[in-house]
Chains A and B, each alone.
Chain A
């Protein structure tokens, strides 16, 4: 079985975001990691391969040159090969343009099933994989926590409000991973050593026959007008005194200071 994983490189989850002079997110000194949800997808792909005892796991990422380190990280976990579509300088796209690029790149890859993180921890828009499914014209099951494969079909469990939905689809299909699908492994030394030598296909946008004007900032449907940091949270207030007395004070404060009642 050929398993394709769509992976996004994101900021480390602990990064303290700051804006530069131009009001853009400052990337200086930021650590980049595999988007944690994509990591669940990679892990699930590896487990499918291990369960079947055969198969190939390909990790595809769209992004600048630095995305290679995250692809290597997935190769160290055990994926077989990487595909990097280097957007080289055209990083201003949105979910729409990224999905276009991914769909085009997928033409170069064989697959029976596609896995991806259900959202990226940076922008959290959860759109790329569903859009790719639409572009490829294959079924999609999002936010899954369990995946079982049978002959030519898959049974996926997805999270919904107050419960789960169990969905059967024909393959090929796209599944997006929620936490709980598979806890990612830590790469072994063997994995780390081998990852350096595993194949990595690289494409530029031109290689894919994509017009830069359509996929960069110019092609994006979403225009970012302004970015601002959230206002820092203020410390709480502890009201002391006897319960009855304190309650009275709290009500007063809610009226006069917080102005919520």
Chain B
């Protein structure tokens, strides 16, 4: 006898099932289409990177759980549920092929293996669902907010799973299944029905069969209207993913004189992808758990931001669609207006100020932690900056301190507004040439770009000086731009002043292309990111290397040799723009590890989970009026390790953490130093 199980017990009622299925699919289709139409309200954005790449992304991050499994409990919980879901989809498909296409596949060893897997993964899914119940309703971590939909979704899925197992148990009891051992869960439960007579058991079985069917149909029809829609939307988001959405923000074409809106002032001015983001968010809260603004009690939670946009799209989108439809039917202006009647309040709601509070937008340090943790690959930071752009460029409405930074960048090419003529003063006595001086016949392999901090900030000048000394020791041939260098524009761009940014870039690119610059070594991770990833948008194509990378390379090549021991316990603080933005985690650590006597200790939040110093996204130049001070929080995290030195590789981090040690009154015995400063003291 070929192993299988009987199917089609209720074949005479299949007409009803088919009819219901049509209805369910129609409801599902309409639901999905409605969401799709909302996304299409957004403006264009090119995100297609090829089918192969897209599917690979979904396999790695959706099916493969690469990011989801970074956290144990919720990761496993989700893996259990999703794998159950996938195996069930396969099982259902096999049954459909056998029953409806009459291809005899659901038998033999395939049947045995599949039925076994269905039991195992079904059980895993139940465990997953129970874990989810416990987490949401008993453990209640801060990052979860609970709505009725969460409960309904869990109950629905649990219902489908439990009724499925009961059906299996009843069938085993009724048919005395000889292969029951291959259905371990059903087999174990079959004992419950051992005493019942076959007739009444069949009746109960039919009742459960219908219940199971209706629950499943309910699940499908409900899906586009619930959080479970993330199954589709998140997969789509992964299909179209960009690894680091904030790394290079979208430029604006200022030469286009037709442009009247700069930045986003209305939800429909976001791109379709940004609107899809709002549906891909399943409120897992990993972003919030790692957000320095949220953790320091500022009015920003990346999760809430995306959810607020979703809610606003949900209320405003249908009105806009109705207006569009009325306009298409050559409706008169009054008809078009009528389509939006009673919706005036929604249409007039200001995106920045009402839907999203201004303080929320200014709280963001653009540290990219939200994006880095998000399993759905939502681009929170560009969305924040788009709204900042509107506030700055359209409404001229921003924290007052930003104006000083803007003016400084405009007039003197640096956010501190120090007279530009003194930009090269720091090289006095260092035997460093400017490009203008070096031009005549001298070999220059790269330019050293100290950034505004290296050139003007007294504390960071010491770092730039250390870097120069290391480069000279290694015999590197380089020059600086000197007074021809201007702020890279990162601060302007991330504060939303794209116009100022574009002007700065244009001037820098002109100068560097004029000197035919190929390679830049910089001391500032913000300059690094902007020069490397954003300047190509403006015709500036350079190889850009951070000094930590470059120095680590020089050490590996034997051009820099450590001569002394340094008995010190050091913790390295990851700069967001070095780490999360550009994946430079290892090289800075390697420098420290190569110094004998150094004991490198890690803070709990390090590498991709590194905690921002609080100065990114232009916040370096804004007051911190709300909540706890982020730099103090980070300093405390470092001090918990009782280090002798807090090592940094970014001017902003250095300032923030050194200020932190000052405020904590430990500056005398806990030094905050750049890697280059640490190294220059111990090299030959």
Which residues from chain A sit less than 8 Å from chain B, CB to CB? 12, 14-16, 29, 31, 33, 183, 185-193
| CB of B394 within 8 Å of the partner chain | yes
CA distance in complex: A183, B257 (Å): 30
CA distance in complex: A33, B392 (Å): 21
Q: Are A186 and B403 in contact (CB under 8 A)?
A: yes
CA distance in complex: A187, B394 (Å): 9
Taking a contact as CB atoms closer than 8 A, the residue among A12, A16, A33, A187 that contacts B396 in the complex is A187
Given known pairs A29-B421, A188-B394, A189-B262, the reply for A12 and B403 (CB within 8 Å) is no
| CB of B12 within 8 Å of the partner chain | no
CA distance in complex: A183, B499 (Å): 22
Q: Are A189 and B411 in contact (CB under 8 A)?
A: no
Q: Which of B19-27, B412-420, B616-624 contacts A (4 or more CB under 8 A)?
A: B412-420
For residue B395, which residues in chain A have a CB less than 8 angstroms away from its CB? 188
Q: Are B400 and A192 in contact (CB under 8 A)?
A: no
For residue B403, which residues in chain A have a CB less than 8 angstroms away from its CB? 186
CB closest chain-B residue, reference A73: B410
CA distance in complex: A188, B396 (Å): 5
Instruction: Describe A's contact surface by its main secondary structure.
Output: loop
Q: Are A16 and B412 in contact (CB under 8 A)?
A: no
CB closest chain-B residue, reference A184: B403
B264, chain A: closest CB distance, angstroms: 14
Q: Are B406 and A31 in contact (CB under 8 A)?
A: no
Q: Are A16 and B421 in contact (CB under 8 A)?
A: yes
Given known pairs A188-B393, A188-B395, A189-B393, the reply for A14 and B419 (CB within 8 Å) is yes
For residue B398, which residues in chain A have a CB less than 8 angstroms away from its CB? 186
Q: How many A-B pairs with Cβ below 8 Å?
A: 40
For residue B394, which residues in chain A have a CB less than 8 angstroms away from its CB? 188-190
Taking a contact as CB atoms closer than 8 A, the residue among A15, A183, A189, A190 that contacts B419 in the complex is A15
Given known pairs A12-B419, A186-B403, the reply for A33 and B499 (CB within 8 Å) is no
CA distance in complex: A183, B419 (Å): 22
For residue A15, which residues in chain B have a CB less than 8 angstroms away from its CB? 419, 421
For residue A192, which residues in chain B have a CB less than 8 angstroms away from its CB? 499
CA distance in complex: A227, B185 (Å): 98
For residue B257, which residues in chain A have a CB less than 8 angstroms away from its CB? 193
| CB of B146 within 8 Å of the partner chain | no
Given known pairs A187-B396, A188-B395, the reply for A12 and B499 (CB within 8 Å) is no
| CB of B422 within 8 Å of the partner chain | yes
For residue B260, which residues in chain A have a CB less than 8 angstroms away from its CB? 190
For residue A190, which residues in chain B have a CB less than 8 angstroms away from its CB? 260, 394
Ranked nearest first, the 9 interchain pairs of A and B with the lowest CB-CB distance are A14-B419, A189-B393, A188-B396, A12-B411, A16-B419, A189-B262, A16-B421, A31-B411, A186-B396
CB closest chain-A residue, reference B391: A188
A225, chain B: closest CB distance, angstroms: 27
Give the contact-size bracket for chain B: 20 to 34
A210, chain B: closest CB distance, angstroms: 32
CA distance in complex: A183, B262 (Å): 24
CB closest chain-B residue, reference A78: B396
CA distance in complex: A192, B393 (Å): 10
11 example contacts (A-B, Cβ-Cβ < 8 A) are as follows A14-B412, A14-B418, A14-B420, A16-B421, A16-B422, A31-B411, A185-B396, A186-B398, A187-B396, A188-B394, A188-B396
For residue B406, which residues in chain A have a CB less than 8 angstroms away from its CB? 186
Which of A16, A31, A183, A189 has the most CB atoms of chain B within a 10 A radius of its CB? A189
CB closest chain-A residue, reference B416: A14
CB closest chain-A residue, reference B422: A16
For residue B262, which residues in chain A have a CB less than 8 angstroms away from its CB? 189
For residue B419, which residues in chain A have a CB less than 8 angstroms away from its CB? 12, 14-16
CA distance in complex: A191, B394 (Å): 9
A189, chain B: closest CB distance, angstroms: 4
* Residues of chain B in range 495-509 having any CB-CB distance to chain A below 8 Å: 499
For residue A188, which residues in chain B have a CB less than 8 angstroms away from its CB? 393-396
B60, chain A: closest CB distance, angstroms: 41
CA distance in complex: A33, B420 (Å): 14
CA distance in complex: A185, B396 (Å): 7
For residue A185, which residues in chain B have a CB less than 8 angstroms away from its CB? 396
Taking a contact as CB atoms closer than 8 A, the residue among B392, B400, B417, B499 that contacts A14 in the complex is B417
For residue B418, which residues in chain A have a CB less than 8 angstroms away from its CB? 14
B412, chain A: closest CB distance, angstroms: 6
B394, chain A: closest CB distance, angstroms: 6
Q: Are B411 and A14 in contact (CB under 8 A)?
A: yes
CA distance in complex: A141, B418 (Å): 34
Q: Are A31 and B393 in contact (CB under 8 A)?
A: no
Given known pairs A188-B393, A189-B393, the reply for A183 and B411 (CB within 8 Å) is no
Known: A12-B412, A29-B421. 14 other contacts (CB 8 A): A12-B411, A14-B412, A14-B417, A14-B418, A14-B419, A16-B421, A185-B396, A186-B396, A186-B403, A188-B393, A188-B396, A189-B262, A189-B393, A189-B499
CB closest chain-A residue, reference B254: A189
Mask, B556-584, CB within 8 Å of A = 1, is 00000000000000000000000000000
CB closest chain-A residue, reference B414: A14
A31, chain B: closest CB distance, angstroms: 5
A213, chain B: closest CB distance, angstroms: 36
CB closest chain-B residue, reference A12: B411
CA distance in complex: A14, B421 (Å): 9
CA distance in complex: A191, B395 (Å): 10
B407, chain A: closest CB distance, angstroms: 8
CA distance in complex: A33, B406 (Å): 14
A74, chain B: closest CB distance, angstroms: 14
B499, chain A: closest CB distance, angstroms: 6
CA distance in complex: A12, B406 (Å): 14
* Residues of chain B in range 259-277 having any CB-CB distance to chain A below 8 Å: 260, 262
CA distance in complex: A185, B411 (Å): 16
For residue B411, which residues in chain A have a CB less than 8 angstroms away from its CB? 12, 14, 31, 33
A22, chain B: closest CB distance, angstroms: 20
B263, chain A: closest CB distance, angstroms: 9
For residue A16, which residues in chain B have a CB less than 8 angstroms away from its CB? 419, 421-422
CA distance in complex: A31, B422 (Å): 14
A156, chain B: closest CB distance, angstroms: 25
Q: Are B396 and A31 in contact (CB under 8 A)?
A: no
For residue B499, which residues in chain A have a CB less than 8 angstroms away from its CB? 189, 192
B317, chain A: closest CB distance, angstroms: 27
For residue A29, which residues in chain B have a CB less than 8 angstroms away from its CB? 421
B58, chain A: closest CB distance, angstroms: 39
CB closest chain-B residue, reference A188: B396
Q: Are A31 and B400 in contact (CB under 8 A)?
A: no
For residue A191, which residues in chain B have a CB less than 8 angstroms away from its CB? 396
For residue B396, which residues in chain A have a CB less than 8 angstroms away from its CB? 185-188, 191
CA distance in complex: A115, B412 (Å): 28
CB closest chain-B residue, reference A185: B396
CA distance in complex: A16, B421 (Å): 7
CA distance in complex: A189, B502 (Å): 13
A193, chain B: closest CB distance, angstroms: 8
A23, chain B: closest CB distance, angstroms: 19
B244, chain A: closest CB distance, angstroms: 27
For residue A193, which residues in chain B have a CB less than 8 angstroms away from its CB? 257
Which of B395, B403, B421 has the most CB atoms of chain A within a 10 A radius of its CB? B421
CA distance in complex: A33, B419 (Å): 13
CB closest chain-A residue, reference B497: A186
For residue A189, which residues in chain B have a CB less than 8 angstroms away from its CB? 262, 393-394, 499
A108, chain B: closest CB distance, angstroms: 31
CB closest chain-A residue, reference B408: A14
CA distance in complex: A14, B260 (Å): 34
For residue B420, which residues in chain A have a CB less than 8 angstroms away from its CB? 14, 31
Mask, B373-415, CB within 8 Å of A = 1, is 0000000000000000000111110101001001000011000
CB closest chain-B residue, reference A189: B393
A47, chain B: closest CB distance, angstroms: 13
CA distance in complex: A186, B419 (Å): 20
For residue B392, which residues in chain A have a CB less than 8 angstroms away from its CB? 186
For residue B400, which residues in chain A have a CB less than 8 angstroms away from its CB? 183
A197, chain B: closest CB distance, angstroms: 11
B451, chain A: closest CB distance, angstroms: 18
A184, chain B: closest CB distance, angstroms: 8
CB closest chain-A residue, reference B262: A189
